[in-house]
Amino acid sequence: MQVGIVGSGRIGGTVGKLWVRAGHSILFSSRHPEQLAGLVVAIGNNARVGTIPEAAQFGDVILLSVPWTGVEEALAAAVLLDGKILIDTTNQFTSNGLEQLPDGMSASECNARRARGARLVKAYNTLTAGFQAESAGCSGPERVVMPYAGEDADAKRIVAGLITDSGFEPFDVGGWTQAHFIEPPRRPRAFYGEEWNLDTARALLSQLTGRNKLKE
């Protein structure tokens, strides 16, 4: 599969490397693509560098991995996102802490509204780049869950396959109503910032969805 990466820093660079190892073709991009030459040389075949618009045009799937404050600019630069699957790795951190979103709205839904026409799936946002690089490819009970959320079932199916290819166990937490389960802040018995295997993730989601129903 061809994947365009918009924002090739820690998360974008790490996930892109994992996908190249799995045989996918990756175009890494940023506001300064000339600074990415070393990354591509280190990765080797199936990796190339381009501009953000080139990444958006190249990819069947686009990975958005920029700071929260740069999301609007990156989406505007990408342009060609209509109908494309957009994997959103961002978290709502600003220089003043977490951005306050409208009551009940997850950061995932906020970005889905900003990226109108794209088929957004939230993923790769719960664990640091360093941990993802170290834990990818574990097997059996040690295999690490990568939770994801979205409203488009077909897009989620494709993203789940890419998660598997990157060495993690895909775990669907639901749609936008449940997406905040995998978003910051870090808190006890949550997904953000925590390493879970599949059995633990299933038990945790059952607890969280049960609490949600009690609040309704």
**Residue whose entry in the numeric block shows the structure tokens 């664990």:** 127
Average pLDDT of the residues of the chain:
95
Q: Which two tokens stand for residue 95?
A: 């220089």
- pLDDT: which is higher, 44 or 23: 23
Summarised one tens digit per residue, pLDDT across range 147-166 is 999 999 999 999 999 999 99
- Residue range 18-33: average pLDDT? 96
Fold of 2-215: Rossmann fold (3.40.50)
**What ranges do the domains of the chain cover?**
2-215
* 171 band by pLDDT with thresholds 50, 70 and 90: very high
Do the bridges between strand 25-29 and strand 145-150 make them parallel or antiparallel, or are there none, so unpaired?
Answer: unpaired
- Burial of 126-137, coded b for 16+ CB within 10 Å and e otherwise, reads bbebeebbebbe
Distance CA 39, CA 118 (A): 27
Largest Cα separation within the chain, whole Å, is: 53
- The answer, yes or no, to whether residue 212 has pLDDT greater than 60, is no
Q: Which two tokens stand for residue 125?
A: 């946002």
Q: Write out 63-100 in H/E/C secondary structure.
A: EECCCHHHHHHHHHHHCCCCCCEEEECCCCEECCEECC
